[in-house]
């Protein structure tokens, strides 16, 4: 998250830099608080003549009651929001606060109708009760069940009719005020319930998304475990049986023990190679799948994504895998470190006669105007540089001016941190693409080297068994050579 600009409000920056779910929570909470607090202004506005003509103590008492009613309603809204979202789990039922709210409401209603009946206030003062009930229902609407809520609304309308009749008000005016207060109260209660229900749905969707991500990780771990079991389970069983047979033959002095141990070593080498292939396949990234996944994830986060694929299928598999990791890491950085509206992924394979493939990711969401341009690289970017460096490629991540093409606006922060003049950020990866002849030559050389290594490995165990020496290998605790070492497995 970017640092707050000098002189800016900290809570505003925290609100802007928070997640979409947090912003929805803040918006809903403060909207409901506003509904609950409106009565502190709306009720006094409906009784200015009464307040002006009444005794000072009566005016002060009315003001204190209205203030207490408003504060009770705001607190009920605060507790009711937690109660409704938690569905009653872990939140204490505010029974005393509800009772206090009901008592204060009854006192205000009685005071208004007594004043009207005594001629101390005009009949229009009863309009204050419409505001009192319409906005004062926001808190209780989140705590009461539907049956309790309808019963309470019926009691309010009945109190309006009985009080108006007892105060000698015109029947037509009493009926209009009763219908108006009942209709507005129902509308406000419905609005508060639906708004909070929407917030509950957002919470459940967010929890479902987290659960889905955890299940995806668990499923991938199970798949990898099944692959490792399929590759090593049978071979390890054979190695155990042949080792036991070789031990028995060695006790009898039979030369067949050497043949059995040679077979054990051959199976062990095959198992090692198969494990390398499993790990290598597990860590490879499919460029097409990563591009499709990036589009889906970014658009789900409200970021327009445009992919300009100039021919990724024509690239060698190794180059596609490396660029796939770039797309994955770049997408993660846009989601975590940017407030982007547009992200463009542009892939340019080598032109006719060219030797370099270029992948660019641009976004207009650089966050944190006070950050240093081209801020320090994280672990992800350093890992990408290592992957691309193994193929002779390079990676640059930097802010730049001018905005993202097609965005229509520049943002304020970037995927890797920093702020450019235009508020945009670009991640660029370049990878040399070997010519077909060079690739074929390297393939033949690699195959010959591997064959020679396997041949040498098959001869070494016999000498070691005859001389009683330990086969040469890496020291204890050192990483295995090749793809099974720290570079492939330990990352």
38-52, 89-103, 238-252, 444-458: least confidently modelled range: 444-458
d(CA 340, CA 34): 31
pLDDT at 290 over 60: yes
**Smallest Cα–Cα separation from 453: which of 279, 272, 317?**
272
Would you state the structure tokens that stand for residue 281, as one six-digit string? 């396949």
Instruction: Tell me which DSSP letter residue 18 carries.
Output: S
CA 420 to the chain's CA centroid: 26
pLDDT at 112 over 60: yes
Cα separations in angstroms, 227 against 279, 317, 397: 9, 22, 36
pLDDT at 423 over 50: yes
Q: Give residue 457's pLDDT band: very low, low, confident or very high (50, 70, 90).
A: very low
pLDDT, tens digit, 9 for 90 and up, residues 327-367: 988 888 888 777 788 999 999 877 665 688 899 999 987 76
d(CA 406, CA 423): 14
Q: What is the pTM of this model?
A: 0.51
What is residue 311's predicted lDDT score, i.e. its pLDDT?
Answer: 80
Tally of CB atoms within 10 A around 242: 19
Check: CB of residue 257 under 8 Å from CB of residue 292.
no
pLDDT at 455 over 80: no
pLDDT at 370 over 90: no
What is residue 46's predicted lDDT score, i.e. its pLDDT?
Answer: 64
What is residue 378's predicted lDDT score, i.e. its pLDDT?
Answer: 65
Check: CB of residue 187 under 8 Å from CB of residue 193.
no
User: Which residue matches tokens 């926001």?
Assistant: 138
The partner residues of 338 in beta bridges, in order of sequence, read 366
Check: CB of residue 157 under 8 Å from CB of residue 180.
no
pLDDT at 44 over 60: yes
What is residue 384's predicted lDDT score, i.e. its pLDDT?
Answer: 83
What is residue 458's predicted lDDT score, i.e. its pLDDT?
Answer: 40
Alpha helices by DSSP H, 252-378: 256-283, 287-300, 317-337
What is residue 402's predicted lDDT score, i.e. its pLDDT?
Answer: 55
What is residue 10's predicted lDDT score, i.e. its pLDDT?
Answer: 64
78-82, 169-173, 374-378: least confidently modelled range: 374-378
Tally of CB atoms within 10 A around 54: 18
d(CA 267, CA 188): 75
Find the mean pLDDT for residues 36-56.
70
124-128, 164-168, 266-270, 287-291: least confidently modelled range: 124-128
What is residue 37's predicted lDDT score, i.e. its pLDDT?
Answer: 81
CB within 8 A of 221, min separation 6: which ones?
Answer: none
Find the mean pLDDT for residues 11-21.
66
Check: CB of residue 357 under 8 Å from CB of residue 323.
yes
d(CA 346, CA 330): 12
What is residue 403's predicted lDDT score, i.e. its pLDDT?
Answer: 53
Ramachandran quadrant class, 490 (left: phi over 0; alpha: psi -120 to 50; beta: rest): alpha
**Smallest Cα–Cα separation from 321: which of 289, 293, 344?**
289
Check: CB of residue 16 under 8 Å from CB of residue 380.
no
Q: Give residue 447's pLDDT band: very low, low, confident or very high (50, 70, 90).
A: very low
Instruction: Tell me which DSSP letter residue 338 carries.
Output: B
Task: Round to the nearest angstrom and report the end-to-end CA distance of the chain.
Answer: 26
Find the mean pLDDT for residues 69-74.
88
109-123, 143-157, 199-213: least confidently modelled range: 109-123
What is residue 17's predicted lDDT score, i.e. its pLDDT?
Answer: 62
Between 117 and 49, residue with greater pLDDT: 117
Is beta strand 342-348 parallel, antiparallel or unpaired with respect to 356-363?
antiparallel
- The pLDDT > 70 percentage for the chain reads 72
CA dihedral sign of residues 384, 387, 388, 392: positive
56-65, 91-100, 328-337, 479-488: least confidently modelled range: 479-488
pLDDT at 63 over 90: no
Q: Give residue 231's pLDDT band: very low, low, confident or very high (50, 70, 90).
A: confident
pLDDT at 141 over 70: yes
Q: Give residue 481's pLDDT band: very low, low, confident or very high (50, 70, 90).
A: very low
Q: Give residue 322's pLDDT band: very low, low, confident or very high (50, 70, 90).
A: confident
């Amino acid at each position: 998250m970017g640092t707050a600009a000098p002189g800016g409000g900290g809570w505003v920056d925290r609100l802007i830099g928070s997640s979409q779910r947090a912003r929805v929570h803040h918006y809903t909470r403060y909207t409901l608080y506003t509904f609950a607090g409106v009565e502190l202004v709306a009720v006094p506005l409906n009784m200015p003549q009464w307040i002006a003509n009444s005794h000072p103590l009566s005016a002060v008492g009315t003001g204190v009651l209205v203030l207490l009613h408003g504060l009770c309603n705001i607190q009920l809204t605060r507790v009711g929001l937690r109660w409704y979202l938690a569905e009653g789990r872990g939140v204490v039922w505010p029974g005393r606060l509800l009772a206090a709210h009901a008592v204060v409401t009854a006192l205000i209603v009685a005071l208004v109708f007594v004043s009207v009946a005594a001629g101390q206030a005009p009949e229009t003062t009863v309009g204050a009760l419409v505001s009192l009930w319409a906005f004062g229902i926001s808190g209780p609407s989140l705590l009461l069940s539907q049956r309790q809520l309808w019963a309470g609304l019926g009691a309010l309308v009945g109190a309006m009719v009985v009080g108006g009749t007892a105060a000698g008000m015109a029947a037509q005016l009493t009926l209009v005020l009763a219908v108006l207060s009942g209709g507005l109260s129902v509308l406000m209660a419905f609005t508060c319930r639906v708004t909070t229900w929407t917030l509950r749905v957002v919470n459940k969707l967010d929890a479902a998304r987290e659960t889905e991500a955890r299940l995806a990780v668990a499923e991938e771990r199970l798949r990898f475990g099944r692959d490792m079991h399929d590759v090593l389970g049978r071979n390890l069983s054979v190695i155990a049986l042949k080792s036991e047979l070789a031990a028995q033959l060695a006790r009898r002095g039979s030369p067949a023990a050497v043949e059995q141990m040679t077979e054990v070593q051959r199976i062990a080498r095959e198992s090692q190679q198969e494990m390398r292939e499993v790990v290598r396949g597990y860590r490879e990234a499919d460029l097409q799948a990563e591009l499709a996944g990036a589009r889906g994830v970014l658009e789900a986060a409200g970021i327009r994504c445009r992919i300009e694929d100039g021919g990724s299928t024509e690239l060698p598999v190794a180059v596609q895998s490396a660029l796939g990791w770039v797309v994955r890491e770049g997408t993660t950085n846009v989601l975590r470190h940017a407030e982007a509206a547009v992200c463009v992924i542009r892939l340019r394979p080598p032109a006719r006669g060219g030797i370099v493939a270029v992948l660019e990711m641009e976004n207009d969401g650089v966050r944190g105007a006070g950050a240093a341009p081209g801020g320090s690289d994280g672990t992800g970017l350093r890992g990408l540089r290592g992957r691309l460096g193994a193929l002779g490629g390079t990676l640059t991540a930097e802010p730049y001016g001018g905005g993202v093409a097609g965005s229509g606006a520049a943002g304020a922060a970037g995927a890797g941190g920093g702020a450019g003049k235009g508020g945009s950020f670009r991640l660029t990866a370049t990878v040399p693409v070997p010519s077909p002849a060079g690739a074929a030559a390297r393939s033949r050389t690699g195959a010959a080297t591997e064959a020679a290594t396997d041949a040498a490995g098959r001869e070494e165990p016999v000498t070691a068994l005859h001389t009683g020496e330990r086969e040469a290998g890496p020291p204890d605790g050192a990483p295995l050579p090749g793809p099974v070492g720290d570079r492939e497995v330990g990352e």
